[in-house]
Copies of this chain bind each other. A is one copy, B any other.
Amino acid sequence: MKSIIKKLDGGICAPKGIKASGMYCGIKESSNPDPGAEHKNDICLFTSDIPANTAAVYTTNKVKGAPLLVTKANLEKSGGKASAVIVNSKNANTCNADGVEKAEKMCALVAKELSLPEEQVLVASTGVIGLVLPIEPVERAVPVLAKSLDYTKNEEAATAIMTTDTVKKEYAVEFEIGGKKCRIGGMAKGSGMIHPNMATTLNFITTDCNISGALLQKALGDIVKITYNCLSIDGDTSTNDMVLLMANGLAGNAEITEENDDYLEFKEALYEVMGTLTKMLAKDGEGASKLLVCTCWGASDVDKAITVAKSVVCSTLFKAAMFGEDANWGRVLCAIGYAPAEFDINKVAVEIASEFGTVKVCENGAGVDFSEEKAAEILSSDEISINIYLNEGERCATAWGCDLTYDYVKINGDYRT
């Protein structure tokens, strides 16, 4: 019998045995700190009470942030086990000559404070690329973070990883495996330089489900492909993209070691968490006023459906038209046309939809009459669906994105200052 997936509060702390903490330590203002001022958290720590099987996916960008290199090396040394993760925002610690040294130092500080083997501590950073990371604020923060670790402080962590994000992103679910309640929780950061490619933005997922390291990695890879990798805010694949998935087994279910029904249940719950976080990331894209959800139906295979759907949500012109609430479907067809995939453009149909209704704007690769008034009403929603029908097969896929706005230009015209 299929388990019911239930939404939970608690983010990454929803699973058993996961503690978190977060604080402001002044990474950006380190040379001129102002402890009296109110600041957003910029550093966080989270831990598993026992070493957790940990799967990871990293950016495909050739420029890889130093934290990624250190996290990867540590997971190799520990045989895929992790107990703690430290994450800072405001500085990516990437393209710095001393980046690896500083990232290792962050792990060492946590390891010492929590009496853990260094290789069981992972590290991630997000923020400006190519700025030397000041280590002093981290040195001051780690003992405080360690002392305040708690099973309820998921929000302190989720706010600490935010950069230009306007809202924190966390989600958690509960489901059953073999009569045992399991939980998966996650947090993610956006909201620019997002075009994950076999990788993702910073995303941290925890679970108390008992599952082998090998299957954990397989499940993560499969779900990344149809969630984070189908997301684009601005077409820029970041240097620091990383998703970590930690499974500590504290739910007490029999270990999942093969691709049986339990594995499928786990994957479905994982999709629920990662899919929801993906949608949250798209909706909070830099400067975004509208979430764009593009689904390609009737493709002969999933990869093709992904390619076509992504091509549309990545089109700068289409994104600008959505901001202007202009049903310029020619731009949709243009973006479908340059997607690197084989199909018959003369069979393609396109619908635009929202909670206010649906209009068909194109059939057999050519325009059809539609009411511009109805289209304008549909496009006034803050969540627009674009349905593309290839009419050649049975597979489908969804890609998520957002509109291109004045605020995107404003935010990115002076991000460093």
Among A234, A330, A365, the one with the most B-chain Cβ atoms within 10 Å of its Cβ is A330
Size bracket of the A interface: 35 or more
Q: How many copies does the complex hold?
A: 2
Interface positions, chain A 179-196, Cβ under 8 Å from B, are: 192-193
The residues of B that contact A337 with a CB separation of less than 8 Å are: 61-64, 237, 239
Q: Which of these binds chain B: A70-78, A203-211, A381-389, A408-416? A: A408-416
Which among B132, B326, B335, B362 is the interface contact of A130 at CB below 8 angstroms? B362
For residue A60, CB closer than 8 A to chain B, the reply is yes
B129 touches A330 (CB 8 A): yes
Complex interface: chain B residues within 8 A of A317 (CB): 192-193, 234, 236, 412
Q: Which residue of B lies closest to A363 (CB)?
A: B97
Taking a contact as CB atoms under 8 Å apart, the answer to whether B365 and A95 are in contact is yes
Q: Smallest CB–CB gap between A177 and chain B, Å? A: 38
In chain A, positions 150-175 with a C-beta closer than 8 Å to chain B are none
Question: A404-B409, A406-B409, A408-B320 are contacts. A416–B326 as well, Cβ < 8 Å?
Answer: yes
Q: Is the CB of A83 closer than 8 A to any CB of chain B?
A: no
Q: Which residues of B contact A366 (CB under 8 A)?
A: 95-97, 99, 130
Chain A residues packing against B (C-beta within 8 Å)? 60-64, 92, 94-97, 99, 128-132, 192-193, 197, 234-239, 314-317, 320-321, 323-324, 326, 328-331, 333-338, 343, 345, 362, 365-367, 404-406, 408-417
